[in-house]
Structure 1
Amino acid sequence: MPERRPALDGLRAVAVVAVVLYHLRAPWLPGGFLGVDLFFVLSGYLITGLLLRDAERGPLDLAAFWVRRARRLLPALVVMLGAVLVAIRLWEPAPLWRVRQGDALAALFYYANWHDIGAAHSYFDDTAAPSPLRHMWSLAVEEQWYLLWPLVLAALIALRLSRPTVVALLCAATAASAVTMAVLYDPADPIRSYAGTDARAQQLLIGALLVLLTRRYPGGAAPAARLAPAAAAAGLVLLLTVRDSGDFYYRGGATLTAAVCALLIWCAERAPGTRLVRLLATGPLRGLGRISYGVYLWHIPAIAFAPHLLPGVPAPAAAVVLTLGPALLSYHLVERPVRAGRPRFACRTTGRFVTSAAAAVAACALLATAVTTRPDGRQSEQLAAADRAVFGGAADGAAVGGPAAAMARTGDPSAPPPAEAGLCPDTTSLCERAPARPGQRTAAVVGDSVARSLDPGIADLAARKGWGYILAAHNGCGLTGLVSVDPGSGRAKPFMQQCAEQTPGRIRQLLADYRPGLVIAYSRWENFAHLGTDGRPVAPPSARWATDVHDGLRAFAETVVHSGATLVLISVLPAAPADPACLTHPDGRGCGAAPDETTAAVNRIYARIRDEVPGVKLVSLQDALCPDGRCRAVVDGLLVRFDGLHFSADGARWFAQRLEPLLP
């Protein structure tokens, strides 16, 4: 049973194209992420078959197997990581560097899935700067399979269990894995269920079961030919209908997908003359399948860095070019030569390869540390300011504001500095930051992660004035109660639905429990599309979008002012570029951005609310952040907004000082 067959190469091509389209946010293929499932079933099938074939020749040589896997996978990974680390240093905001260091080391040592789980880094959450290595979790699962499964299989062979007994054991293990995925599923953040090796083992085991069953029943050409069209149709339906949110995938859908993938593999192997198999074995699909490993490695970095490498080129086209080019070079200059034992001085013998591989891994780990080391001087001071916002500010170690939306999922937050001590985690509905002094009013801040990142400044302002201060801003939550839609996929994420359901009640609870005299509101979520009453996205700046946002904001404003509070709406601030070069050269090319039309449209709606609802005050600090009509992250030498949206701790204080004279 040769390791590589044309039709299986075609299936690899289908899998990687589906994954790339998913990450390019093709709205017509919501189930593109299922390409990873097909890769898992293929891996279980091919590796088990390879090991069983080796076992028929004699005792399993596990060391030789692991070296072959390393020859196949490690060289291309090291090259990709080296390139990505350089790109991170050049183009990613410096506050992300130590986060990316952890991502790179996790990818290099194949524990990326557990790294993401431990950091609560959601594979699906693209509301903030996603990691250019966020796809490495699946390769980690496969490598863990390559490490553990040969040991299990060798033990099963040594025990001389009957084939039915082994099949029964694997069926039980598959069922246990499926149950694990269902039990661990958390709609608010499914990453543990999605990326855990224990939850994913079911798909690899289904591939292994396919080998055992096809060896027991080697025929089946006629049934396979009849079932091939149905298998292809079932796979297409799954790709077009299954979504990454919702219960279906996690509560049986993953197992069903793996079963369909196994059926496709069986049909490809048993019915080579069918139209489906001939299509899979065509030259373009076969060729793409051969380089599918490189395509998978490079497509996320290509998407992440395309704006820097090919500015002005449409993002999908740029991503395709920057994926296929490195993948082809990797296949012909790295993968094939190393597998063939070239260069001789490094790869000819097993000993030379192991020594060279260890040196390459060590060099890559050192590079990951070196390129993410912080600079000294003024830039270091700016980064420290960002760190206080990104990694400080939560009593339980969670990040503040944008950090929780942008960083906490991928980082290891440090303890909060004293100025931010006492901030409640984002899961707290209402956070009483300070009680009011006798005769003084209570102020509250409501809104999203940007409003939450203002906490250091508002806390200082409240302390100076003796106000009580309640933080009621929550990451990812707007002001209107509308269900926001992810700007790329056109779908509502679970947390968006939860925000829409919980925000109105949270506002009412704030007003009833604390009776604030001043409510300060800031949110950027109204800039995004939302779900209409028909369940379809309503995008800005359409008339229907404007009406929905206006009505939602007016209802919010009336709720606040009818409680007796004064509502201060802070005009939405345009985003600023977050290029790390702008830390030291804030006036450089590309470090300023003109205000966008959607932000201007939201602010016009704010002005209408101010005019329509007595007790509403509208304040704007756009002139301070965009003094020449172009908005910057660094103002007067201070890093005000560490990622172009969220405030650093010092930036929040800078903002609050300018806000104070405008408050009623």
Structure 2
Amino acid sequence: MLLAVGVWAAFWGSAEQHSQLRHDYPWGVFYLANWGQVFSKVAYFSGTPTLFRHLWSLAVEEQWYAIWPLVFLAINRGRASDKRRGRVLVVVSLTVMVGTAIAASASWPTQFFNPFRLSMQRVDHVNFLYLSTITRSSGLLLGAAMAFLWRPWQVTSKPKGNAANVLDMAAVGAVVVLLAGFFMGHVAEDSTYLWMLPMVTIASAVLVAVVVHPWAFGARKVFSARPMVEIGKRSYGLYLWSWPIMRICDAYTGSTSKFLLAAVLTVPVSEASYRYVETPIRTGLLGRWWNNRERRDWSLITGCIGVTTVVLAGSLVVFFGSADKVFDAAQDNSTGVVFDPNATAADTTTTSDNSTVPGTDTGVVGQSTSSTSSTTPVPVTAATLPRRVVIVGDSTAHALAKNLPDGIASTFTIGNGSLQGCSVYSGGTAVSTQGFTRSFTDCAGWETKWASAAQKANAEVALVVIGAWDVFDVKLGGQVVAFDSPTVDQRFTDGVQQGIDALSAIGVKVALLEVPCMRPKDVKGAGTPALPERANDQRVAHVNELLKAVAAKNPTTTTFVAGPQDYCTNEAIANDLGYRWDGVHAYKPGAKLTFETIAQSLLRIPVG
């Protein structure tokens, strides 16, 4: 599977998939894929999923196979009975379940020791709870306990009373729990770790215990039926091949037709794998061939296989090793997009105390959709060019900083201090009505990073570009709080103020860029699906009102800068993916539009 998917990706995969495979191959080959995902800091259901994302569960399984024999030898050295050993394993399994539930309630851990770097590393706690060998060991431990405690083959008598019915009903109940977990569970929900996964673990153990018991006539008949047995034999291959095929067909996006196409393709591919790879190895066909081989054939066959394998594997290593370490979908490599240094914007307007200060109008500069009171501007001392600006904020800030139009260097020196996936929060989770979530636990210390980036760029002005993650409902302390509620508003304004304080402390002036109207689109390479909250202009307008209010409270340090209105008034531009490649993040034409709109406003901000 690793080789086949690699060959497909080399010829037909995207640049993003090449970068993903560069990261995933080493982790997958050594059965450490779950830890590779934990330490990647990419939320499990965020971003464009990789072709090998499903290997995490096989990694947990293989790590168990490496560790359990040693544990088995250790616990069997004593004189304890098998029942005692089994009970101890049950207690350990339950302890893992309870510990995982407590960790989920506390949104923990946020850091974990990375043995590959020999240092503590910040992790997404949901990733850790869902993917780590530690938290997912409860089922394996419970299965090992059953091997010590449950020995139905020793039963030789006939069923007593309603024992057979009880066993069958237990199997039915277990199946119901498993189906409920399948349809109701979600990786980012606390309930998954508080009770869903423990129930699924226990239900799985119960189901296995029942179907191996000779008295469970009904359950044994169902699960020993030929179709069930044949599916079971092929389950490993079906799991192994289904996800990369789903990913290749884009079936993970919710399209029924693509899902059905992927399912149809998965069946023959996994069947071929079962017949010509798994079965020959499992039944000893390769071993018999080895024993019956003829010497004269061996050298030729071995040489051909060896050379082919080395050439293929080596080619994939070289190919994916040359891929970008980190794929940046926002990078626009086009040419000919030139910044106009003579671009103009609206003049200066008044401050909150009605005195005229360059670049402020209750902290507002430039034209905006809201009304502003204006006065005759005070003469402004010309800014020394190029003005040193650092762009801080979320992924929209990153796109703006990465896609600078040609010729801007004579007017602005731009530094990139963006933190993708972060706004002005160190905790909580953005929640979309589409079920998409984004945890901010890995954004702790963002304000310090803003200040460090400003110092590194020797910035005079920090342009704060946020908004993409500020239009959602928010999950705080296990409860979802609605957007536009006092709690969510206060959380946002407190965060913005925290950023202003960090930047002002090092003498950097702050410009809060107006959040543009967004027209999100589902495009390849987008790390986030097209979420309806971003397309809600009323939500965007509310965030801008909050930004203006914060600017008004900090008139000596902070300015609200009005951005291009075309994104709200001109649908042709707003929906043009040449301006914003996914309707949210700017390409070079979009960056040109923004910088030409705000250029004079940024230059009017008094510094020094």
Both proteins in one fold, TM over 0.5: yes
Matches within 5 A, 1:27-42: none
Match of 1:191 among 127, 130, 133: 127
Any idea what SS the aligned residue of 1:197 has? coil
Residues 658 and 99 from structure 1, CA distance in 2 versus in 1: closer, same or farther, beyond 3 angstroms? farther
CA distance in 1, matches of 2:307, 2:208: 38
Q: Distance in 2 between matches of 1:174 and 1:310?
A: 35
Q: Within 2, Cα distance between the matches of 1:336 and 1:129?
A: 34
CA displacement at 1:384 relative to structure 2: 9.2
2:394 aligned partner:
448
State the distance in 2 between where 1:319 and 1:529 align: 34
Q: Which residue number in structure 1 is paired with residue 516 of structure 2?
A: 571
Percent identity, aligned pairs only? 22
Whole-Å separation in 1 of the counterparts to 2:200 and 2:272: 33
How far the C-alpha of 1:523 sits from its partner, in A, is 3.7
Which residue in 2 is equivalent to 1:212? 148
Of residues 28, 40, 48 in structure 2, which corresponds to 1:119?
Answer: 40
* 1:133 aligned counterpart, secondary structure: coil
Q: Does 1:265 align with 2:208?
A: yes
For residue 562 of structure 2, give the secondary structure of its aligned residue in structure 1.
Answer: strand
1:297 CA displacement? 0.6
Q: CA RMSD in A?
A: 6.1
Aligned twin of 1:485: 431
Q: Secondary structure at the match of 1:322?
A: helix
Distance 1:180 1:482 in 2: 21
Amino acid at match of 2:516: S
Counterparts of 2:75 and 2:129, CA distance in 1: 28
Match of 2:262 in 1: 319
Give the one of 278, 288, 298 matched to 1:335: 278
2:320 corresponding residue in structure 1: 372
Counterpart position of 1:140: 59
Unaligned runs of 5+ in 2: 111-123, 332-382, 451-459, 502-508, 550-559, 603-608
1:341-352 correspondence runs (5 A) = 341-342=284-285
Tell me by how many angstroms 1:199 deviates.
3.0
Instruction: After TM superposition, list the pairs within 5 Å mapping 1:393-432 onto structure 2.
Output: none
Supply the AA of the counterpart residue of 2:244. Answer: P
Q: CA deviation at 1:306?
A: 0.5
Question: What is the aligned partner in structure 2 of residue 128 from structure 1?
Answer: 47
TM-score, normalisation: structure 2? 0.58
Pair 1:349–1:297, CA change in 2 (3 A): farther
Could you tell me how far apart the structure 2 residues matched to 1:281 and 1:616 are?
Answer: 69
SS in 2 for 1:128: coil
In structure 1, distance between residues paired with 2:305 and 2:284: 13
**Secondary structure in 1 matching 2:137:** helix
| Matched letter for residue 131 of structure 1 | T
* 1:302 counterpart = 2:245: yes
What's the CA shift for 1:372? 1.2
Residues 161-195 of structure 1: per-residue CA shift (max 9 Å, x gap): 53244334434543564466457643852323332
CA change 1:624–1:442 in 2 (3 A) is farther
Counting helix residues as a fraction of each chain, which structure ranks higher? 1
Task: State the structure with more CA Rg.
Answer: 2
Q: Compared with structure 1, are the counterparts of its residues 88 and 332 closer, same or farther at alpha carbon in structure 2 (3 Å cutoff)?
A: same
Contact 1:112 1:137 in 2 (8 A): yes
Counterparts of 1:304 and 1:663 in 2: how far apart (Å)? 45
Deviation digits for residues 439-475 of structure 1 (CA, Å, limit 9, x no counterpart): 99998867532224434679x9999778999968661
**TM-score, normalisation: structure 1:** 0.54
Q: Return the match for 2:7 from 80, 86, 100.
A: 86
Shift of 1:283: 3.9
1:659/1:109 Cα in 2 relative to 1: closer, same or farther (>3 Å)?
A: farther
Distance in 2, Cα, partners of 1:611 & 1:178: 45
Aligned match of 2:166: 226
Distance 2:5 2:561 in 1: 48
Distance 1:155 1:606, change over 3 A: closer
Instruction: Tell me the CA shift for residue 521 of structure 1.
Output: 3.9
1:260-299 aligned at under 5 Å gives the runs: 260-270=203-213, 273-299=216-242
SS at match of 1:372: helix
Equivalent residue runs for 1:150-165 within 5 Å: 150-154=69-73, 156=75, 162-165=81-84
Structure 1 gaps, min length 5? 1-79, 376-382, 391-436, 508-515, 539-544, 581-590
Match of 1:513 in 2: none
Contact 2:97 2:198 in 1 (8 A): yes
1:226 shift after superposition: 0.4
Matching of residues 618-629 of structure 1 within 5 Å: 618-619=563-564
Contact 1:107 1:140 in 2 (8 A): yes
Measured after TM superposition, the shift of residue 138 of structure 1 is 0.9
CA distance in 2, matches of 1:280, 1:143: 26
**Is the Cα–Cα contact under 8 Å of residues 389 and 415 in structure 2 kept in the other structure?**
yes
| Alignment partners' CA distance in 2, 1:157 and 1:384 | 47
Query: Tell me, what secondary structure is at the counterpart of 2:134?
Result: helix
Q: Is the 8 A contact 2:517 2:535 kept in 1?
A: no
Q: Is the 8 A contact 1:607 1:618 kept in 2?
A: no
1:587-643 per-residue CA deviation (whole Å, 9 max, x = no partner) reads: xxxx9xxxx9969954687689989989773416879999998525xx9xxxx97x9
Deviates most, 152-161 or 467-476: 467-476
Residues 654, 121 of structure 1: alpha-carbon distance in 2 compared, 3 angstrom cutoff = same
| Structure 2 contact 465–512 (Cα < 8 Å) conserved | yes
Between the aligned partners of 1:278 and 1:198, the Cα distance in structure 2 is: 35
Query: Contact conserved, 2:519 with 2:575, CA < 8 A, in 1?
Result: no
CA contact (8 A) 2:398 2:419 kept: yes
C-alpha displacement of 1:298: 1.4
The alpha carbon displacement at 1:94 in A equals 1.9
1:242–1:249: 8 Å Cα contact kept in structure 2? yes
Q: Deviations over 1:19-78 (max 9, x none)?
A: xxxxxxxxxxxxxxxxxxxxxxxxxxxxxxxxxxxxxxxxxxxxxxxxxxxxxxxxxxxx
Q: Give the conservation status (yes or no) of the 8 Å contact 1:527–1:598.
A: no
- Name the CA shift for 1:522/1:367 in 2 (closer, same or farther; >3 Å): same
Cα pair distance change 1:653/1:630, threshold 3 Å: closer
Contact 1:203-1:258 at 8 Å conserved across structures: yes
One-letter amino acid of the counterpart of residue 150, structure 2: T
User: What secondary structure, in the 3-state scheme, does the structure 2 residue paired with 1:454 have?
Assistant: helix
Partner of 1:236: 176
Whether 2:26 is the aligned partner of 1:105: answer yes
